Amino acid sequence: MIATIGEALVDLIEQQDGRFQACLGGSVCNFTLGVARQGISTAYLNPLSKDKFGEKFSALLSGNGVVLKANGGSASPTALAVVSLDDQGSPTYAFHRQGVADRDISAERLIASLPESLELLHTGGLALVPGDLEKILTVVREVGRRKALVSIDANLRPIAVTACDAYVEGVQQAIAQAHILKVSDEDLAILGFGDATPTMLAATLFHESTLQLIAVTHGVRGATLLTRAYQMTLPAPNDLKVADTVGAGDCFHAGLISYLARAGKLAAEASLRQADQDFLRCTLQHAIAAASINIMRSGCDPATWEETRQFSQPSAQ
């Protein structure tokens, strides 16, 4: 089973007429929904609010098969993100996350809710802000003691913090203790790797870390997978009818992790390390397909396993 820790927040997305539409989102919540729709057993560990938005999150996640571990909920409100889109449909965010439900939990409660059959813990995004970092790292260390894998989506949002240097340093600490990392080109620039080649990036990030797999998304230019032995880059499909890019990176990573899970590569660190080039190519194709389907839909609306397979390999169906 995969467990996730991180934000569930409402995206208030700007429409063409200037009004804002409320969409359930948050990087980790989007990922959780995406993995569940890919048919992977998934548990979400953070509490959801008892407000109306929290009820909608609960219905959405549980309705897609996600196990909600914090059944009691939280009296705190649901977090909000105001999302404005540019002419290309790319989002910018303003966050409202003080005293919110998904942060209303201790490291001890998170550890107590870890599934016994845990294969991988996924976290990242706003869960790695300075105020929550030590809590997350405490859970990550416990997961390491249980010999399960850790996935991090850096998904850096400097606008959400006041101490950017401390935030970046904390994300770097989390990355060093992960086995799988997903970053965007924008994340790499914030982390100080904006001009790094894939070889330079691999040499730096694999050094003195537990990382075995790094996924780098390049937007319309596709994505790259790096392991300690291989590098693989594939383009994004041409001529996609883009609705917006909200949740694209989350769906990419959900497709990636789901493919690894179905192939048994999350059973142990050694299984992940043994992935060959052909397998990496298929994994990356699946992840890109999952992201591509999502950007043709409004908001974050992750694809199922069958939809993703049909998109990436039409002859497979």
* Domains in the chain, CATH or no CATH each: 2-316 (3.40.1190.20)
Model confidence at 93, pLDDT cuts 50, 70, 90, reads confident
pLDDT of the residue at 317: 45
Q: Which residues contact 175 (CB under 8 A, 6 or more apart)?
A: 152, 154, 181, 205, 209, 211
Contact 191, 183 (CB under 8 A): yes
The mean pLDDT value of the chain amounts to 95
pTM (two decimals): 0.95
Q: With pLDDT > 70 as the criterion, what percentage of the chain qualifies?
A: 98
Which of 86-90, 155-159, 207-211, 221-225 shows the lowest mean pLDDT across its residues?
Answer: 86-90
